[in-house]
Structure 1
């Protein structure tokens, strides 16, 4: 089977959408399938093209057996509503045209969180008369209003109508959470065409670490420190200013460090806040290449997974919790109660506290710092739970979905209506 996959994030970008697509795609290739990924020049989250790449109209290369096609887009940093929409819409247009030149795809897949990518996927499926699979990674545009980036308006309502159109037109929907599936069913989408494939972990890359990476530990003076780390995109949804306040409360503990590693829309705000407060117990690490992520995670004794206290974020499962399981790093999760908190509690792979509750986050760090028996118990449960979320399982589940729509959709059945 030839899988044509549209995504505006792909390695060397290291965010969750890029990682999920890549780690699934290499497994599909190993299983004997052909995979073509249409994407753009890597630039997330700073909006600057990575070294060694150019933002040109059409270029092709191969990555671990995956055929990668990169198309030109309007590039903007991961902040600012208007510029981001222009970014998304430009990929919708160039991704669609790029897909017209891909020979003989059997199924066309497009991923969110923003659905302009899915618009391109649906349009390609209609023109080329191939089944369309919508991979749903976020309820968008609801997430825009959830973080306060934009208020409810005519524009948001228009986007919601387009969103609903895509759900109805998709031959199959792959949701990354059960909560997303439940919401779509509540909005009238046929449950039979919605499957849930959670995020997971590549256990060949993320394995239990017995010690911190020596080079990085020496560089940031973390070798003999207890490290509470936030690793990943610094977005508006994460409420990282609260983690800065947590660090402020932990200053008296000389061997505890709080690490922020990554980039994103809120990065400068966090850096400025740390400097303003003159926090000596905070370590700031710039975004690192994807291949260094296991080494970066090895610095952490616990992983901080925060989200702001919004109703929407009850439906979100941060993908980093599975990488932490693979490496045996306990999670301190401070997000609204929902599917993600239930996973942490069921697997006993971390501690759950209230979203945005600075006192509880601080207390959780100190609890794992002081109680070695509890810490080691959670670490063991994390390692024990990881195989349940292996990327091997998730990639195989998605192939079954693709094969299902490929065999069930009659040739020439897709029409533009």
Structure 2
């Protein structure tokens, strides 16, 4: 008798056409023969407005990768930032997810509820509501540490409120069956709120751009710049966690030293306007801010970059994190410049993939850029090759998805033996 495929409900506030790793994981799980359905909201990240073709109101269903049904609950868009808008956005997903997703749990009888949980951690609540209708293990993939990340980003500073959030996190961790953490350094902080035997390391993975099947060309002006200069490229979110004042300091130092290096910032986020203002304030001709490009343009961008840049703020919480762009940079096989502490720096150094300096050390970052620029091309190519090899060994998406399926199957068998 042919065994029925696993039936997985993926619950995530964010999903395609928003750009998150969960998109590629869902596509790969489906390719592995897993029956996947996605439960999400209306796409509105990062711009804050609901994407064209969608409306904020009314639940809808659509298809992803031809084989995956996507259930979308109504969602209040995050609009243009601010604590109130973000809180209302988060709460609307929870409330509408509970309301609209529960009916599918009984009808479909999933084997696993798999929750992709960047902030906010409360996005697990709709999955817990589904579990109450039809019991199945809930896997929570923790991408951010709450309440620590709320305090570190300045979103919540009141100690009493932080303690309340801590109690909420403890309750949510208690209610789920398995906690997956994206960094080994997450294990100890998560143990403050959950039993150690629930916690498993499961890193972020990455789909290599040359396998995605989509290509979007870069503007000729940008490709000309990348070919003409030693360009250090930052690609991703321009937010408070990235410690972008460090980039400004490094650019000022390099300009004062008449370095020919360029720092190219590709992306958008809450600090994008501030970054542009600082560029003009200090007359930083060596700092180029391009705005965002689609992921399908990243292969060309990375290939033309002299080195790739990752930065984070100096805070204990961020030292626990491996920024997802690190996996993308490793996959690209380009040398990496890291201005960060902890796990992210450890991965870059263990791989031999580049040069690192402490978080928020603008002078140190400038020195790293100068060092990378002056080293022989052959050494930079060796760093890129080591980056690629490390990625294939530790973070390649297809291998990681097979590992995830094995985790699901082991949990299901464990539950059968304990009934």
- Partners of 1:197 and 1:216 in 2: CA distance: 39
2:358 maps to what in 1?
354
- Higher RCO, Cα 8 Å, sep 6+: 1
Matches within 5 A, 1:55-204: 55-64=56-65, 65-77=67-79, 79-102=81-104, 103-113=108-118, 114-185=120-191, 187=192, 189-203=194-208
The answer as to whether partners of 1:11 and 1:22 remain within 8 angstroms in 2 is: yes
2:283 maps to what in 1?
278
TM (norm. structure 2) is 0.90
Deviation at 1:188, TM superposition (A): 5.7
Q: 1:216 to 1:104 in 2, by over 3 A?
A: farther
1:210 maps to what in 2?
none
1:300 maps to what in 2?
305
Q: 1:175 to 1:44 in 2, by over 3 A?
A: same
In proportion to residue count, which structure has more helix?
Answer: 2
RMSD: 2.3
Cα deviations across residues 155-191 of structure 1 (Å, max 9, x unaligned)?
2221211111111121111111111122223x26222
- Partners of 1:83 and 1:214 in 2: CA distance: 33
Give the match's secondary structure for 2:227.
coil
Cα deviations across residues 322-376 of structure 1 (Å, max 9, x unaligned)?
111111121111112x222221111101111011111110011111111124322
Query: What stretches of structure 2 of length at least 5 have no aligned partner?
Result: 1-5
Give the match's secondary structure for 1:11.
coil
The answer as to whether partners of 1:95 and 1:120 remain within 8 angstroms in 2 is: yes
Q: Does 1:5 align with 2:10?
A: yes
Cα deviations across residues 291-331 of structure 1 (Å, max 9, x unaligned)?
22323333422111111110111210011111111111211
- Partners of 2:132 and 2:412 in 1: CA distance: 14
Q: 1:352 to 1:203 in 2, by over 3 A?
A: same
- Partners of 2:165 and 2:80 in 1: CA distance: 19
Residue of structure 2 aligned with 1:247, choices 247, 251, 259: 251
- Partners of 2:169 and 2:193 in 1: CA distance: 13
Q: 1:255 to 1:12 in 2, by over 3 A?
A: farther
Query: What stretches of structure 1 of length at least 5 have no aligned partner?
Result: 208-212
Cα deviations across residues 26-79 of structure 1 (Å, max 9, x unaligned)?
111011111111122221122122233332321111111222122211111474
1:312 maps to what in 2?
317
